[in-house]
Chains A and B, each alone.
Chain A
Amino acid sequence: MATLLRAALRPLRPPPGHRGPAADVLLRGVRHGAGQLYPEHIPTSPLQKVLLAAGSAGMALYDPYRHDMVAVLGETTGLRALKVLRDQMKRDPEGAQILQERPRILLSTLDLDKLRSLPEGSLGQEYLRFLDVNRVSPDTRAPTRFVDDEELAYVIQRYREVHDMLHTLLGMPTNMLGEIVVKWFEAVQTGLPMCILGALFGPIRLHTQGLRVLVSELIPWAVQNGRRAPCVFNLYYERRWEQPLRALREELGITDPPMLVRALA
């Protein structure tokens, strides 16, 4: 019992050669900097992860504008799914390159002028248009903090940054309805508990009309496409800006959405 408790409270197994925390420090968490695997990393014990997962799930439902809570939920519950996703990426040549080079989709890394100059209907153009119409920016994504593996921390960061690409690919706006559709697609593609929970519980906050359309048309479409498409995280989007969106959709087997989901004001 005591060993179980100790295991629940220990933040993470220190690498071999390191002395583990002393018993009285056990309850107090790690020393500053100890066990930190990447700049924003906050090592957490299994107990803390459970509390964070429960708390963030509750808070995200209570206040859907707390996007940071959705992120925390993803990080604290996604370890297994992230491993599977990472292994999938490793097996694919384009995915493996992404893991190697670790590209980031940020305003600082995007050449906006170049993207704007691209032909109409290209991925780059459509992505920019999506950002404009929905008034979002790629830089609002919080950095990963609670994933205790440096490579997986990148994988979830990549997942977040690709999320906007998926909106563009699926033609879904960033309102509640659009987000839920993308979550269903992502849930099928990644198996991340956060996506599954978001897909299942997100609709609670929808009005009945949206709910009807969601259940009868949009979810089946999202699930079908999610199943049919190869792993969308294996695409090096940064090298495909010129590719016409239509062609990319065909490549992935993504059909047009059954209806136009408008970006509400």
Chain B
Amino acid sequence: MQHDVRSGCCHPTAKMAAPRSCALWSYCGRRWSRLMRCCELPGLRSSWPGGPLGARQLSQEKQATETHFGFETVSEEEKGGKVYHVFESVAKKYDVMNDMMSLGIHRIWKDLLLWKMRPFPGTQLLDVAGGTGLAWVLGDAEELPFDDDKFDVYTIAFGIRNVTHIDQALQEAHRVLKPGGRFLCLEFSQVNNPLISRLYDLYSFQVIPVLGEVIAGDWKSYQYLVESIRQFPPQEEFKEMIEDAGFEKVTYESLTSGIVAIHSGFKL
């Protein structure tokens, strides 16, 4: 989920300048906030007309309908808070666990995402659910604190699965992208091979929570992780959701037999 700047996630030739005007915002209140990172590559001086963040009106409270939290059923109100606590709990051992669970393969997936993106100096990139980075803004993926048509690329890696209203996150992605901008999502998906699927299930449900318990002292968060992966729509369905949000030329590429997929769409 995290695009860790320290591990050199960005394309090697694109230099990361310290952005001069990414302000820090913290959201109080019942809507829980996700960390976002905005990378300002050199060549772009004034990225935010009239102050770092456009004024956004917060919407009303959500209806108390039900949704899934892994295999559990919870109210939508609850889900945000529960997901927050999961990530609060896993944050400390996050990178170690990613390496242990995927045997380092998550780094290759992230590299592939960047390769697809091919950012160049001057690209305005928004990486949502990115954890920490050079400059970051606290906000809500379902209601981004940015004006319309701001970014060239919007990425989200291993984050959208945890959002309560994925369709809203997609709509927001569409809104903040410039015309011609690209949406890229790296996320766990459905395995296409039946044998590998069984092995993957076995590994996910039998081994991963144990790893979570032994390494991080946290069985439940990793149980949630593997369950939330099963709850996320498969490649085709997610493609349709992206199209519903207004994106065009939507494509996807499955990696590692479909364990993860990179979805791409354009705002035209």
Q: Does B198 contact A (CB under 8 A)?
A: yes
Q: Which residues of A contact B (CB under 8 A)?
A: 9, 27-29, 31-32, 42, 45, 47-48, 51-52, 55-56, 58-59, 66, 68-69, 72, 145
Interface residues of B in 164-203 (CB under 8 A from A): 198, 201-202
B219 touches A42 (CB 8 A): yes
Q: Which of B206-214, B234-242, B257-265 contacts A (4 or more CB under 8 A)?
A: B206-214
Q: Of the candidates B72, B206, B215, B220, which one forms a contact with A48 in the assembled complex, judged by CB atoms under 8 Å apart?
A: B206
* 23 A-B pairs with C-beta separation under 8 A: A9-B202, A9-B206, A27-B198, A27-B202, A28-B201, A28-B204, A28-B205, A29-B205, A29-B206, A32-B71, A32-B72, A42-B220, A48-B209, A48-B210, A51-B207, A51-B210, A52-B213, A55-B214, A59-B214, A59-B215, A66-B217, A69-B214, A72-B214
Q: Across the interface, which residues of B come within 8 angstroms of A56, CB to CB?
A: 213-214
Q: Across the interface, which residues of A come within 8 angstroms of B202, CB to CB?
A: 9, 27
Q: Does B106 contact A (CB under 8 A)?
A: no
B214 touches A52 (CB 8 A): yes
How far is it, in angstroms, between the C-alpha of A51 and the C-alpha of B219 when the chains are bound?
A: 13
Question: What count of chain B residues pass the 8 Å CB interface test?
Answer: 21
Q: Beta-carbon contacts of B20-64 to A below 8 Å, as 1s and 0s?
A: 000000000000000000000000000000000000000000000
Q: Across the interface, which residues of B come within 8 angstroms of A59, CB to CB?
A: 214-215
A27 touches B214 (CB 8 A): no
**Closest B residue by C-beta to A45:** B206
Q: Across the interface, which residues of B come within 8 angstroms of A31, CB to CB?
A: 71
Q: Across the interface, which residues of A come within 8 angstroms of B205, CB to CB?
A: 27-29
How far is it, in angstroms, between the C-alpha of A32 and the C-alpha of B70 when the chains are bound?
A: 9
Q: Beta-carbon contacts of B227-239 to A below 8 Å, as 1s and 0s?
A: 0001000000000
How far is it, in angstroms, between the C-alpha of A51 and the C-alpha of B213 when the chains are bound?
A: 11
Q: Across the interface, which residues of B come within 8 angstroms of A58, CB to CB?
A: 214
Q: Across the interface, which residues of A come within 8 angstroms of B71, CB to CB?
A: 31-32
How far is it, in angstroms, between the C-alpha of A42 and the C-alpha of B222 when the chains are bound?
A: 13
Q: Across the interface, which residues of B come within 8 angstroms of A28, CB to CB?
A: 201, 204-205, 230
Q: Across the interface, which residues of B come within 8 angstroms of A48, CB to CB?
A: 206, 209-210
Q: Across the interface, which residues of A come within 8 angstroms of B204, CB to CB?
A: 28
How many whole Å from A146's CB to the nearest CB in chain B? 9
Q: Across the interface, which residues of B come within 8 angstroms of A145, CB to CB?
A: 219
A68 touches B206 (CB 8 A): no
A27-B198, A28-B230 known; A47 vs B217 contact (CB < 8 Å):
no
**Closest B residue by C-beta to A47:** B206
